[in-house]
């Protein structure tokens, strides 16, 4: 390894519009087909799309692209989304639609994200994965989960 902080993770890479992202496979509990979403009254944050049913349980469905609204214009619409990823880590659980599930890499080389305390733009990444097609951001379920929790207050 060139970077001493780099580590190997098992990851699932997916596509949202033209952008590619990843989650650790241990945090993904299910990949399911597209299904109806029920909006949640009084929750106005566009991040929260609503509730969906996964294995008979209701889970919060988010619009992942809204997390990056400043820098990322692509939006997964109900018509283009093919799959829904269900994430669970610690007390947080959520689901979101993606355009495509690309691949699973059993041992991906991840360069951790360097925290810049002066940075004021919220971001939700653990680090970057470099593959043959370019850089992929590895997302942090805890940071996203915590952000979702705040939307309900």
Partner 1 sequence: MNSPNASQPPDEALYELYCGDLKSQLKIINDILIASEKNSFSASDISALLRAIHSIKGASKVINLDDMVHLTHSMEDALSTVQTLAEKPSEEKMGLLFKACDFLQEVSLLSRQDLLPYMTRKKDEIVNLCHALQASPNIAKQEPQPTLSIPQDTLETKNDFLFEDHEKKPQAIKLNPENLNQLMSFAAELLVELPRLDSLKSYFLKEKASLIKLEKHLDKLRENLLKEEVSRGLQTAICDFGREFLNFSREFENGTSYYDNFSYVLAHLSEQLYLTISANRLRPFSDAVESFPRMIRDLSHQLGKSVNLDIQGLDVLVDREVLERLISPLTQLLKNAIDHGIETPQERSSVQKKTTGLIVLSAFHRNGRLWVTLSDDGRGADLKKIKKTALEKRLVTEKEAANLSDNQWLPFLFLPRFFSESHVSEISGRGVGLSSVNNSISELGGSVVASIDPKSGTGMLFTLSLPLSLSVIRVLLVKIAKELYALPLAGIHKVCSLSLNECHSMNNALFFENCSLIDGDEIFSKIVKTPQTQEKNLLSVVFFDQNNDVVGLIVEEIIEVRDIAVLDLSHYCGKIPNIAAGTVIEDMTPVLVIDQESLSSLMQGKHHDGVNKKWILVVDDSHQVRSVLKEQFEKRGACVKTAIHGRDAWNALCEHVFDLIVTDIAMPQLDGIELLTLIKKNQRYKDIPAIVISAYDEKKTESLEKGAVAFFSKNALTQSTFDEVVSHFLDKGQMDG
Percentage helix, strand, coil for the chain under 3-state DSSP, each rounded to 5: 10, 50, 40
Q: Check residue 71 for interaction with partner 1 (CB under 8 A).
A: no
Query: Among residues 18 and 55, whose Cβ is nearest to partner 1?
Result: 55
Least separation in angstroms between residue 106's CB and partner 1 is 26
Query: Among residues 12 and 87, whose Cβ is nearest to partner 1?
Result: 87
**Residue 83 neighbours by CB under 8 Å, 6+ apart:** 14, 31, 32, 33, 34, 97, 98, 100, 101
Check: CB of residue 14 under 8 Å from CB of residue 98.
yes
- # chain residues binding partner 1, by CB under 8 A: 36
* Interaction residues for partner 1, span 104-133 (CB under 8 A): 115, 117-118, 120-122
The alpha carbon of residue 146 and the mean position of all alpha carbons in its chain are separated, in whole angstroms, by 13
Query: Among residues 39 and 133, whose Cβ is nearest to partner 1?
Result: 39
Query: Among residues 18 and 120, whose Cβ is nearest to partner 1?
Result: 120
Least separation in angstroms between residue 51's CB and partner 1 is 5
Both tokens of 7, joined, read: 């580590």
| HSE-up of residue 79 (Cα within 13 Å, Cβ side) | 0
The alpha carbon of residue 144 and the mean position of all alpha carbons in its chain are separated, in whole angstroms, by 8
Q: Which of 30, 60, 78, 133: binder of partner 1 (CB under 8 A)?
A: 60
Residues binding partner 1 (CB under 8 A):
35-43, 50-53, 56-60, 90-91, 93-94, 115, 117-118, 120-122, 142-143, 146-147, 149-150, 152-153
């Amino acid at each position: 390894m060139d970077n001493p902080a780099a580590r190997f993770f098992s990851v699932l890479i997916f596509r949202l519009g033209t952008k590619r992202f990843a989650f650790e496979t241990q945090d993904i509990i299910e990949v399911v087909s597209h299904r109806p979403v029920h909006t949640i009254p009084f929750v106005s944050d566009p991040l929260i799309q609503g509730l969906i049913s996964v294995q008979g349980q209701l889970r919060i469905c988010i619009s992942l692209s809204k997390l990056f609204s400043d820098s990322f214009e692509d939006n997964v619409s109900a018509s283009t989304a093919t799959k829904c990823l269900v994430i669970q880590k610690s007390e947080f659980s959520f689901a979101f639609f993606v355009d495509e599930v690309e691949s699973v890499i059993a041992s991906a080389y991840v360069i951790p994200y360097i925290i810049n305390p002066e940075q004021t733009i919220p971001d939700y990444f653990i680090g970057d994965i470099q593959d043959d097609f370019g850089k992929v951001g590895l997302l942090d379920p805890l940071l996203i989960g915590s952000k979702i929790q705040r939307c309900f207050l």
